[in-house]
Amino acid sequence: MKLFGKSLLELKKLVTQKEVSAPEVSSYFRKRIAKYNGVLNAFLSVVAEDGGLPIGVKDNFCTRGVRTTASAKVLDDFIPPYESTVTDRLKKNQLTVIGKTNMDAWAHGSSTETSDYGPTKNPWDTTRAPGGSSGGSAAAVSAYLAPAAIGSETAGSIRQPASWCGVVGLKPTFGRVSRYGVVAMGSSFDCPGPITATVEDAAFILGLIAGRDRYDATSSPRPVPDYLSSLAERRKLTVGVAEEYFDSVNVEVKAAVEKAVEIFQKLGHRVKKVRLLSPKYSISVYTVLQRAEVSSNLARYDGIRYGGSRAFFAAEAKKRIMLGAYTLSYGYYDAFYKKAQKVRTLIIKNFKEIFNDVDVIISPTAPITALKLGEFEKYPFFGEVMDILNEPAAVAGIPAVNIPCGTDTNGLPIGLQIMGNYFKEETLLSLAYQFEKETEFFGVIKKGIENYKDD
Amino acid sequence: MKIIKTISRHPHGSEDLVSFQIPASAGTTNFMKYIPVIGLEIHVELKTASKMFCQCSADYFAKPPNSNTCPVCLGMPGALPVPNETAVNWTMKIGKALNCQLASLSKFDRKHYFYPDLPKGYQISQYVEPIAVNGYLKLKGKKFRVQRVHLEEDTGKLIHSGKDTLVDFNRSGVPLVEIVTEPDFDNSNDVKEFLQELHTIIKYLDVSDADMEKGSMRLEPNISVRVCHPGLDPGSQKDSLVHENDKLPLPPYKVEVKNINSFNFVKKAIDYEVKRHLEILEKGETPIQETRGFVEADSSTKSQRSKEETHDYRYFPDPDIPPLSFSADYLSATVGSLPELPAAKTNRFIKKFGLKEADAFLLTRDKEVAGYFEKCLTLVKGSRIVEDLPQKLANAILNKRVTLNLGPDKFVQSVVELYKPKATDMEKLDAAVKSVLAKNQSAVEEYKKGKERVIMFLVGQVMREMKGQADPLKVKKELAGKLKR
Residues of B in contact with A333 (CB under 8 A): 314-316
Residues of A in contact with B79 (CB under 8 A): 82, 180-181
Cα–Cα distance measured from residue A155 to residue A191, given in angstroms and rounded to the nearest whole number: 9
Give SS3 for B292. strand
Residue window 128-167, chain B: list those with CB within 8 Å of chain A: 167
Residues of A in contact with B316 (CB under 8 A): 292, 296, 328, 333, 337
The CATH code of the domain that includes A143 is 3.90.1300.10
Instruction: Give the angle B386-B391-B397 at the CA atoms, nearest 5°.
Output: 105
> A417 lies in a domain?
yes
Please give the residue of chain B at the shortest CA–CA distance from A178: B80
**Per residue in B90-144, pLDDT tens?**
999 999 999 999 999 999 999 999 999 999 999 999 999 999 999 999 998 999 9
Rounded average pLDDT over A34-58: 95
Question: Residue B320: which of A78, A218, A292 has the nearest Cβ?
Answer: A218
Q: Is the CB of B311 inside 8 Å of chain A's CB atoms?
A: no
Rounded average pLDDT over B9-35: 49
Give SS3 for A284. helix
Cα–Cα distance measured from residue A122 to residue A373, given in angstroms and rounded to the nearest whole number: 9
Cα–Cα distance measured from residue A284 to residue A301, given in angstroms and rounded to the nearest whole number: 27
Cα–Cα distance measured from residue B466 to residue B455, given in angstroms and rounded to the nearest whole number: 16
> A179 lies in a domain?
yes
Domain residue spans of chain B: 4-333, 340-419, 426-484
- Are the beta carbons of A196 and A173 closer than 8 angstroms? no
CA dihedral B366, B372, B377, B378 (to 10 degrees): 120
> A208 lies in a domain?
yes
DSSP B138: E
Q: Is the CB of B252 inside 8 Å of chain A's CB atoms?
A: no
Residue B229 pairs with which residues in a beta bridge? none
Least confident of B72-76, B77-81, B229-233: B229-233
- Find the helix packing angle between A279-297 and A339-357, rounded to 10°: 130
Give SS3 for A1. coil
Confidence class for position A80, pLDDT limits 50, 70, 90: very high
Residues of A in contact with B320 (CB under 8 A): 184, 187, 216-218
- Pairing status of strand A270-274 against strand B15-23: unpaired
The more confident residue out of B429 and A159 is: A159
Phi, psi of B3 (to 5 degrees): -95, 125
pLDDT at B363: 94
Least confident of A88-92, B173-177, B283-287: B283-287
Do B119 and A300 make contact, defined as CB atoms within 8 angstroms?
yes
Interface residues from chain A to B (CB-CB < 8 Å): 60-62, 68, 70, 75, 78, 80-82, 84, 179-184, 186-188, 214-218, 292-293, 295-296, 298-300, 302, 304-306, 325, 328-330, 333, 337
Do A70 and B121 make contact, defined as CB atoms within 8 angstroms?
no
Question: Is the pLDDT confidence value at A150 over 70?
Answer: yes
Rounded average pLDDT over A216-237: 95
**Which of A115, A431, A80, A244 minimizes the C-alpha distance to B72?**
A80
Residues of A involved in catalysis: 58, 133, 157
Rounded average pLDDT over A85-102: 98
- Mean pLDDT in chain A? 96
Residues in CB range of B421: below 8 A, 6 or more apart: B471, B473
Count of domains forming chain A = 1
What is the span of the domain harbouring residue A393?
15-452
Question: Is the pLDDT confidence value at B215 over 70?
Answer: yes
For the complex shown, is ipTM > 0.90?
A: yes
User: Residue A65: left if φ>0, alpha if ψ -120 to 50, beta else—which one?
Assistant: left
pLDDT at B5: 37
Do A217 and B80 make contact, defined as CB atoms within 8 angstroms?
yes
Question: Is the pLDDT confidence value at B384 over 80?
Answer: no
Residues of B in contact with A60 (CB under 8 A): 78
Instruction: Give the angle B450-B454-B458 at the CA atoms, nearest 5°.
Output: 135
Cα–Cα distance measured from residue A47 to residue A65, given in angstroms and rounded to the nearest whole number: 10
**Per residue in A13-23, pLDDT tens?**
999 999 999 99
Rounded average pLDDT over B392-417: 80
* Selected residue of B70, B153, B314 to mutate for chain A interface (largest A Cβ count, 10 A): B314
Do B79 and A299 make contact, defined as CB atoms within 8 angstroms?
no
- Mean pLDDT in chain B? 87
Residues of B in contact with A330 (CB under 8 A): 312, 314
Question: Residue B82: which of A181, A215, A302 has the nearest Cβ?
Answer: A215
> A353 lies in a domain?
yes
Residue B292 pairs with which residues in a beta bridge? B257, B303
CA distances from B149 to A47, A221, B154 (A): 50, 30, 15
In Å, how far is A368's CA from the nearest CA of chain B? 32
> A6 lies in a domain?
no
In this structure, which amino acid lies at residue B232?
L
Q: Is the dihedral of CA B435, B438, B441, B445 positive or negative?
A: positive
Do B112 and A80 make contact, defined as CB atoms within 8 angstroms?
no
pLDDT at B108: 98
CA distances from A404 to A157, A311, A393, B130 (A): 16, 40, 19, 48
pLDDT at B233: 47
Question: What share of chain B in percent tops pLDDT 90?
Answer: 63
CATH class of B426-484: mainly alpha
Phi, psi of B418 (to 5 degrees): -65, -40
Question: What share of chain B in percent tops pLDDT 70?
Answer: 86
pLDDT at B425: 76
Q: Is the CB of B110 inside 8 Å of chain A's CB atoms?
A: yes
pLDDT at B197: 97
User: Residue B150: left if φ>0, alpha if ψ -120 to 50, beta else—which one?
Assistant: beta
CA distances from B117 to A305, A451, B258 (A): 10, 53, 17
**Which of B351, B365, B352 minimizes the C-alpha distance to B398?**
B365
Question: Is the pLDDT confidence value at A275 over 80?
Answer: yes
pLDDT at B366: 93
- Are the beta carbons of B147 and B345 closer than 8 angstroms? no
In Å, how far is B67's CA from the nearest CA of chain A? 14
Residue B102 pairs with which residues in a beta bridge? B132
Residues in CB range of A192: below 8 A, 6 or more apart: A61, A86, A150, A151, A152, A153, A172, A177, A178, A179, A182, A209
Rounded average pLDDT over B415-433: 78
Rounded average pLDDT over B246-271: 91
CA distances from A17 to A6, A10, A13, A20 (A): 15, 11, 6, 8
Question: Is the pLDDT confidence value at A415 over 80?
Answer: yes
Count of CB atoms within 10 A of residue B409's CB?
12
**Per residue in A193-218, pLDDT tens?**
999 999 999 999 999 999 999 999 99
Question: Is the pLDDT confidence value at B32 over 80?
Answer: no
Do A300 and B80 make contact, defined as CB atoms within 8 angstroms?
no
Residues of A in contact with B74 (CB under 8 A): 305
Question: Residue A299: which of B76, B78, B121 has the nearest Cβ?
Answer: B121
Q: Is the CB of B3 inside 8 Å of chain A's CB atoms?
A: no
- Are the beta carbons of A193 and A158 closer than 8 angstroms? yes
Residues of B in contact with A82 (CB under 8 A): 70-71, 76, 79
CA distances from B112 to B156, B157, B314, B315 (A): 15, 17, 6, 7
Question: Residue A179: which of B74, B80, B322 has the nearest Cβ?
Answer: B80
Cα–Cα distance measured from residue B79 to residue B56, given in angstroms and rounded to the nearest whole number: 14
Question: Is the pLDDT confidence value at A444 over 60?
Answer: yes
**Per residue in A369-398, pLDDT tens?**
999 999 887 877 777 777 899 999 999 999
Question: Residue B78: which of A183, A295, A325 has the nearest Cβ?
Answer: A183
**Which of B177, B135, B203, B147 minimizes the C-alpha distance to B339?**
B203
Question: Is the pLDDT confidence value at B22 over 50?
Answer: no
> A99 lies in a domain?
yes
> A241 lies in a domain?
yes
Q: Is the CB of B119 inside 8 Å of chain A's CB atoms?
A: yes
In this structure, which amino acid lies at residue B43?
H
Confidence class for position B20, pLDDT limits 50, 70, 90: very low
pLDDT at B231: 53
